[in-house]
Amino acid sequence: MTGLAAPPPDSRATTGEIMIEAQDVSKVFGSVRALDSVNISVPRGTVLALLGHNGAGKTTLVGVLTAALPLTSGRAAVAGFDVARQPQEIRRRIGLTGQFASVDGQLSGRDNLLLIARLLGAGRRAAQARADELLELFALGEVATRRARTYSGGLRRRLDLAASLVGRPEVIFLDEPTTGLDPSSRLNLWEIVENLVADGTTVLLTTQYLDEADRLADSIAVLSAGSVIASGTAAELKAKVGQRTVTVTLDGQDDPAAAVEALRRASMEPVTGLDNGAIIIPIGASKEIAAVIRALDRVGIEAAELSFGEPSLDDVYLTLAEQPSLLAPLSERPSA
Amino acid sequence: MSTTTTTRTADPIDPAPAAATPPVWHGSSVLLQIRVLTGRSLRALVTDPGVVLFGLLQPVVILVVLTQVFSKMGQPPHFPAGVTYLDFVLPAVLIDNAVQSAVQSGVGLVDDLKNGIVARLRSLPIVPSSLLIARSLANLVRSAVQAVILLALAIGVLGYSPRGGATELAASVGLTLFISWSLGWAFIAAGAWLRRAEPMQNLAVIAILPLMFASSAYIPVADLPAWLAAVAKVNPLTYAIDATRALALGIPGVDAAVPALLFGGAIAVVGATFAVLGFRRPM
Ligand SMILES: Nc1ncnc2c1ncn2[C@@H]1O[C@H](COP(=O)(O)OP(=O)(O)O)[C@@H](O)[C@H]1O
Ligand SMILES: [Mg+2]
């Protein structure tokens, strides 16, 4: 299946059918290369998480795949339709929850859903039935007649997601769906996504949160400066990064640059850039912890805190996601 | 960090089988899209009557203040004989109202772009321009509602009685609405290109006041200072006002209406073209 031809009429029966596919997709804005030869492939009924910092290109990729942005080069297909040639076919089959809630603040929650249902071709009755169904499922009944602009962030997100499900889409795009949500709304949204996937919907979600990707995604693509720098299941990524790690936190008066220098001299590849100023050192065997302590001791630095960790997605992120700004002012990192 | 402990409880939120049911709807016709979206734009008029009142503010102030001031001051030398100032200025006030409403259709589009509904509409299988047409039709309705309120005020409170007769007044108002509709396209185009509220507001202030005052709206062009008269002679609003005024006053001859219709038609065509081009650009 190339993913670029129309699916067979009863494609639902086909498992493993590729519902979202990008081949060498690049997108250039003026002088900014927002996407650089991106390849992804998402089978039906699975979740792909696009993991990346701000500016990595997540929203741009969502824009290209939802036929909202023309691509500069490459090919992309959703539900078997080409984004450049058959954008309306794609719009018929997708739901999009953008990074910023796209509901009409002037209208009530219910009227927002009605509007979309009518535009999708539902008759008055059918539109009302669908709106009420979604309001109930998303626990929005109490606020259904209130104007959406009076909603809290969590409510608005939920309405936004409900709005993208009105047409029962086969593929859903969620751009940073939980950014800015409180923990309980976040959990709530995760459960919604899990239920959708259980029902066979294909999901592409972008996130800056590792726990979110780890919990929801069947596979993860790490996006950095427009390129996919790693992809695979959470387990595969952890294996790729390969190592266990030692995390060292220094005392305030110790110079992190000196510590990094000392560790490098001991042939280690320390990674910096955590918010708390900690240094992560990938190691092979647990006995190498001693080597870390010795290397630091040689320059008279004693770790204020030292912990040993099995690989986590944090490590994947820090090891793979090149982000020079995070590494400054320490000297350049060894290439991953 | 990769271990998340969450307890899965019986969940009130359990979205309907999304993919289990195949898509049941097969899209809507462009006409239906326009109707639904026009209804949406007009809803603000019903749920938020402040919008209409605010739009009426300037025309009403001008109507009341100018008729009071000028009736005391005596008429300028080139004033048409036997015509009260109220007769003279009412068509211009209706045009002012038409322009205000036209500006609001551009402002409304910018609001739509800002509040996210445009992003939502773009992800739906609809014709994007139907939103623009809806805005333009909503502007027309709004302009008409406001014109009726202004006329009721002029007749009921200020004692206006159309000199040319009811039919002529109706023709005058009809032409005014046509001008409002066509100017609406210019401002929808501006909104589609500017996409931000502040430049849109600035444009409204910078464009409208001078256009209205450097025209035949409030004083005959011949009585304006020479430089202002020069501007007024090339100001398209002068032609629009001359035409609607001639109709309302019952001055025979269609020659005044021709330039107004041509000017309106040209603005609508150019405006709509640029509106579609501007709106089509990715967000
Ligand atoms: N419309 C645009 N014009 C110019 N540059 C853009 C535009 N949209 C995004 N970019 C640039 O493309 C890069 C990727 O942006 P984006 O896709 O929004 O990242 P993310 O969603 O991962 O935060 C950034 O450098 C951003 O500045
Ligand atoms: Mg983004």
**Per-residue pLDDT reduced to its tens digit, A120-146:** 999 999 999 999 999 998 999 999 999
Domain count, chain A: 2
Answer yes or no: do A135 and A173 share one domain: yes
Domain end point (choices A180, A206, A238)? A238
Is the per-residue pLDDT at B6 higher than 60? no
Neighbours of A305 (CB within 10 A): 11
Distance B84 CA to ligand 2 centre (A): 62
Going by pLDDT thresholds of 50, 70 and 90, the confidence category of residue A95 is: very high
**What are the sequence ranges of the domains in chain B?**
30-71+79-279
Give every CB contact of residue A42 below 8 A, 6+ residues apart in sequence. A18, A19, A20, A21, A48, A202, A204, A219
- Ligand 1 in contact with A279 (CB < 6 A)? no
- Domain of residue A148 covers 18-238
Lowest mean per-residue pLDDT among A269-273, B227-231, B251-255: B251-255
- The Cα–Cα gap between A11 and A281 comes to 48
Answer yes or no: do A127 and A210 share one domain: yes
Is the per-residue pLDDT at A327 higher than 50? no
- The Cα–Cα gap between B247 and B253 comes to 9
- The Cα–Cα gap between B241 and B226 comes to 19
Please indicate, yes or no, if residue A93 is contained in any of the structural domains: yes
Answer yes or no: do A55 and A194 share one domain: yes
Answer yes or no: do A144 and A182 share one domain: yes
- The Cα–Cα gap between B38 and B32 comes to 10
For B11-69, the pLDDT digits (tens) are 344 444 444 444 568 788 999 999 999 999 998 788 878 878 888 888 898 888 888 87
**What is the pLDDT at residue A146?**
95
Which of B9, B13, B38, B126 is the best mutation test for A, with the most CBs of A within 10 A? B13
- Ligand 1 in contact with A323 (CB < 6 A)? no
Please indicate, yes or no, if residue A60 is contained in any of the structural domains: yes
Is the per-residue pLDDT at B162 higher than 90? no
Q: How large is the ipTM?
A: 0.82
Please indicate, yes or no, if residue A50 is contained in any of the structural domains: yes
Please indicate, yes or no, if residue A104 is contained in any of the structural domains: yes
- The Cα–Cα gap between A69 and A77 comes to 13
Is the per-residue pLDDT at A66 higher than 70? yes
Please indicate, yes or no, if residue A332 is contained in any of the structural domains: no
For A298-313, the pLDDT digits (tens) are 988 888 888 887 666 6
Q: How far is B62 from chain A, CA to nearest CA, in Å?
A: 30
Answer yes or no: do A159 and A276 share one domain: no
**What is the pLDDT at residue A240?**
67
Answer yes or no: do A207 and A105 share one domain: yes
B25 or A114: which carries more pLDDT confidence?
Answer: A114
Lookup: tokens for B66: 């100018």
Chain-chain contact of B125 with A105 (C-beta, under 8 angstroms)? no
Answer yes or no: do A143 and A262 share one domain: no
pTM equals 0.78
Answer yes or no: do A91 and A190 share one domain: yes
Please indicate, yes or no, if residue A301 is contained in any of the structural domains: yes
Prior bond of A329 cis (ω within 30°): yes
Please indicate, yes or no, if residue A13 is contained in any of the structural domains: no
Q: Which of A27, A32, A62, A176 to mutate to test the pocket of ligand 1 (most atoms within 8 A of CB)?
A: A32
**Kindly report the CA angle at B231 between B225 and B234, in degrees rounded to 5?**
140
Answer yes or no: do A222 and A290 share one domain: no
Chain-chain contact of B13 with A211 (C-beta, under 8 angstroms)? no
Closest CB to A211 among B4, B23, B36 = B4
Distance B130 CA to ligand 2 centre (A): 28
Please indicate, yes or no, if residue A6 is contained in any of the structural domains: no
Is the per-residue pLDDT at B230 higher than 60? yes
Q: Does A234 touch chain B (CB under 8 A)?
A: yes
Residue A38, φ and ψ in degrees, nearest 5: -85, 135
What CATH number corresponds to the domain at position A254?
3.30.70.260
What CATH number corresponds to the domain at position A124?
3.40.50.300
